[in-house]
Structure 1
Amino acid sequence: MVALWLVQFGQKLLLCSALSTGCLAVALLLWSLLVMLVNYARHWWQLRTVPTVAGAYPFVGHGLIAERDSQEFFKQLVRFAEEFQHMPLFKFWVGTVPLVALYRAESVETILCSSKQIDKAYVYTFIKPWLGLGLLTSTGNKWQSRRKMLTPTFHFTILEDFLDVMNEQANILVNKLEEYANKEKFNCTFNITLCTLDIICETAMGKNIGAQVNDDSEYVHAVCRMSDLILQRIKTPWFWVDNLFFMFKQGQEHKRTLKILHDFTNNVITERAIVMQKEEECRMKNNTSKSKRKAFLDLLLKVTDAEGNKLSHEDIREEVDTFMFEGHDTTAAALNWSLYLLGSYPEVQKKVDKELEEVFGKSDRPVTMDDLRRLKYLECVIKETLRLFPSVPLFGRKLNEDCEIAGYKFLKDSEAFIAPYILHRDPRYFPDPEEFKPERFFLENSHGRHPYAYVPFSAGPRNCIGQKFAMMEEKTVLSCILRKFWIESTQKREELGLVADLIIRPANGIWIKLKRKNK
């Protein structure tokens, strides 16, 4: 009744104020505030039975108790989950918006398995200036059509064309790591990140940017800087308003950086289209089927939908930029965490060594697709790494219809986020959850485990389309490094200082020692 009265009052106020042009702006502002208040009251009443973190106040929610520092906020989130460990979910308020935290397999399944609850959370809005409405950010019919169109481009037989690039760049990385062998500890995160950036650029665009050998690449700096700017904006509520954001230096830098990124991608697409046309003309003239190694961009230039329509230039740029954004930092994080854990658990590293010797002998030859299939224990190492340190620690959905989760009713437009870092530590499915045990992922040990207890690449209709690519890359790079060096970690788990930004990373990097192996 109160909500209805507020709406009626607002309508009357808007009508009266509209009689005076000078009051129209004030009336619109009051109307917006009333609508926000009505939605707030509606959500509060509907979700009143959902377990709630203590310390919320009207309108500001948990803003007064939420930690501003990323490292401290992540610790706080984990504490909240521990507080509600016997509950299937909990909620906290960001201003007037309720966020529901899901960290039990049964609760997560309700959202991820749904073909309807596929809309991304509000914070993904801040990625759209860079990625547009690509596969990560689009929804509805556009997402479904695009996903169907792009899925064949990630078929394993097509991914085989990318293996040469992975081998080449992994060898450049190994040669760079030689300077650290048999010396003091060093931070390996930057070297690994540049390697993954080189791999993603060449496989996505067919463009060798030489990030590992050229520290002055404007594009490389722009990719890294844009990720930081997006994160700053997400963490600063007054930056959420476009007009306000672009008044600050961060907003102006965002514009400049975005131009660098889009100009680079646009130029590559144009150049690649011209080259492909000339190659096609040459093949037809010479009646030959021989072609050069394809990049993801080449496939996008040829792909068509069910009606035979090709992607536009802008559509292609959206997907290439999405592949760049999703494919380098996440993989770099997984590789860095794998090295850290292998260096911390020498008995596991010895098992990896044994498998590598069985597959490669003493050779440092390039990795083949057959080798990747045989590296089963290394794959378990990567999976267990992603259990303990999922590259994306949180991902969110906006409910596009009313639904029930774990017996609680949620309204349309509620925001839910899934926390793999917490989900993956459920002792019902992973006994001794803090221990690094790759054997958990042996077929006989994972049989019967809840399919949504482990979701490092999400799951269901919106699972990560590039997860096979990521696993290929991680196995290739790790096998090249581990055939050459023995890894020793120099940090204890409690010294890492986890920061949950766009990806999960240690506050001060991954510090390791390398010992050169005798052939």
Structure 2
Amino acid sequence: MLIELLLVMFALLVLGDYLLKKRRNDMIHYMPGPKPLPVLGNVLMYRGISQADIIDFILQNRQKYGTCYRVWLLNQLAVLFSDPADVEVLLSSSKYIKKNNFYDLLHPWLGTGLLVSNGRKWHARRKIITPTFHFKILEQFVEIFDQQSTVLVKKMAQYADGKTVLNIAPLLCLMTLDIIAETAMGTKVNAQTNPEFPYVSAVISVTYMFARRFTNAWQRIDWLFRLLSRKEAKLFYANIKLMHDFTDRIIVERRAVLEQELGINETAPNATDTEVGLKRRMALLDVLLQSSIDGKPLSNEDIREEVDTFMFEGHDTTSSALTFCLHLISRHPLVQAKLFEEIRKVLGADKDRPVTQRDLGELKYMECVIKESLRLYPTVPLIGRNFEEDVVIRGKPIPAGTNVTIGIYIMQRDPKYFPEPDTFRPERFLNESLEDGESRNTYVYVPFSAGPRNCIGQKFAMLEMKSTLSKILRHFELLPLGEELRPTLTIVLRSENGSQVGLKPRNYASTSNQVVD
């Protein structure tokens, strides 16, 4: 009797699964993809796939199924696009801006800040925050970039003997955390000199826990995470509370200072009216404190969402980008020599001279190096969207509720657009076209995303990376010591073993630093 009952239940489960998916299957009947099992879909194909394997796994699927294919994860339909023409439709639209449900994992820390918010809230917050990246405010931030990169090179100097293998990734992480704390909150956390400071430790700990949860399907489900990983979950939520308490305190203190210094009150004019009128250095927090939506000022909780979002996005992504870029430079001596030649030409022989925004703008070859590094190792290799209604993308119907993934990493290594795609060749960005002269679709290279939901901080990030690279290369020659990179996908692309390099004090008198024609 029990067996018969189980068989009936199984049959009903299979039937229910079929009926639940039928409409969506009918809509995507044209789309290739691995054959799904009843109920489970294609979940089993991910068995044994580690974080380090995910990118290669996606590349293999792309070769097998093409630039648009689907997979079923239980009842969730997922579609991956890697044709720049499709990607252009998706990213250029102001309609398809809802992030997919993987981003829900970030809610405990970030709430519904700019990264994960949608609709009217996203549009309103984006409008408020955009003035933070006005060129006159960015100019003030360059001073912070220079100061913190100076601390970094002093920390690095102890390893500059030409033979010690240094993993530079943790040092970069602390530097970018110092920068984003001062530019977003207007406060110093001294992460580089005091990495055990509770807020600093909490940010690093939670960031890595997010990465593990993001790639572990069971840990994504909160009650399972709390049940099966009790100790880790307890630490995770305790650290989030610590960060929230710290940010709340800074907000209250900063609001009091602004009210005293500027005579503002709860109905102060929008930041767009005062964004460059203040003599004091502006931080993101200052802009938010002076902003309002529909005549109402943002609450402390609203402000905390955005500050926490920038703390998360502003240190993790930039440190990852610098990790890959410095490693590539260390393995390509001609590129490094050309970079140093440009740095000397723009900044002169004084390696301690502070840089200006204008200086950084003149480092054209360095910009090509950064762009090429981001092509090979985009910090965010996959972008997620979710369709709230049925849509048609270039004649391809996609049902409502579908999670869409845009394969940035895949497109940027496509030989159709980038000859010798696995070769590090910064010169390919000296002109923005294919080698045969054909124009390249601008949506084939989108390391900062594109369209209305592009990365609001990309100019900030480029200036920060240029400042840091110029400071490091003025002080040290990077040597190809240690292990090669082992890229692994978490929330952002990382190297599993960091960035291992050697350092030698830069000799300005040496002729070996000159580029040979």
SS at match of 1:392: coil
Looking at structure 2, the residues matched to 141 and 267 of structure 1 have their Cα atoms a distance apart, in angstroms, of 28
Do 2:212 and 2:490's aligned partners in 1 also have CA atoms closer than 8 Å? no
Aligned partner of 2:367: which letter? E
Pair 1:97-2:76 in alignment: yes
1:207 lines up with 2:187 in the alignment: yes
Matched, 1:271 2:253: yes
1:153 paired residue among 132, 136, 141: 132
Q: How does 1:142-181 map to 2 (within 5 A)?
A: 142-181=121-160
Deviation, 1:358, is 0.6
Contact 1:63–1:95 (CA under 8 A) maintained in structure 2? yes
TM-score (norm 1): 0.88
CA distance 1:39–1:140, shift in 2 (3 Å): farther
1:379-418 equivalences under 5 Å are 379-418=367-406
Given that residues 88 and 107 in structure 1 are in contact (C-alpha distance below 8 angstroms), is that contact kept between their aligned partners in structure 2?
no
* Aligned residue number for residue 293 of structure 1: 281
SS in 2 for 1:452: helix
Alignment of 1:32-71 (within 5 A): 38-54=19-35, 56-66=36-46, 67-71=48-52
How does the TM-score come out when normalised to structure 2? 0.88
Paired residue for 1:455? Answer: 446
* Cα deviation 1:192-247 (Å, max 9, x = unaligned): 11111110111111111111111211111111221222233333333344333333
Q: Secondary structure at the match of 1:409?
A: strand
Cα displacement (A) at 1:363? 1.2
- 2:9 matched residue in structure 1: none
Structure 2 residue identity aligned to 1:90: Y
- 1:386-432: CA deviations, max 9, x gaps? 00000011120001222223532111111110121111012222111
Identify the range of structure 1 (327-336 vs 296-305) with the bigger mean alpha-carbon deviation.
296-305
Distance in 1 between residues matched to 2:465 and 2:211, nearest whole Å: 25
Partner of 1:348: 335
Q: Separation in 2 of the partners of 1:372 and 1:238?
A: 45
Q: Is the 8 A contact 2:473 2:506 kept in 1?
A: no
Aligned partner letter, 2:469: L
Q: Partner letter of residue 64 of structure 2?
A: E
Q: 2:458 aligns with which of 445, 456, 467?
A: 467
Q: Which residue is equivalent to 1:188?
A: 168
Q: CA deviation at 1:292?
A: 2.8
The whole-number CA distance in structure 1 between the counterparts of 2:498 and 2:216 is 24
* Conserved 8 A contact 2:18-2:38: no
- Residue pair 2:17, 2:39 contacting (<8 A) in 1 also: no
On the 8 A contact 1:439/1:445 being kept in 2, the answer is: no
Cα distance change, pair 82–497 in 1 and its aligned pair in 2 (3 A): farther
Letter in 1 for 2:154: N
Alpha-carbon shift at residue 331 of structure 1 (Å): 0.2
Preserved CA contact (<8 Å) 2:100 2:386: yes
Bigger mean CA deviation after superposition, 188-197 or 483-492:
483-492
CA distance in structure 2 between the partners assigned to 1:433 and 1:375 by the alignment: 24
Establish whether residue 304 from structure 1 lines up as the match of residue 284 from structure 2.
no
Residue identity opposite 1:508 in structure 2 = N
CA contact (8 A) 1:156 1:468 kept: no
Task: Structure 1 unaligned segments of length 5 or more: list them.
Answer: 1-30, 283-288
Show CA shifts across 1:44-65 (max 9, x none): 23222211035x3122122212
1:68 positional shift: 4.0
Q: Secondary structure at the match of 1:239?
A: coil
Match of 2:178 in 1: 198
User: Given that residues 104 and 426 in structure 1 are in contact (C-alpha distance below 8 angstroms), is that contact kept between their aligned partners in structure 2?
Assistant: no
In 1, the alpha carbon distance for the partners of 2:88 and 2:319 equals 28
Partner of 1:234: 214
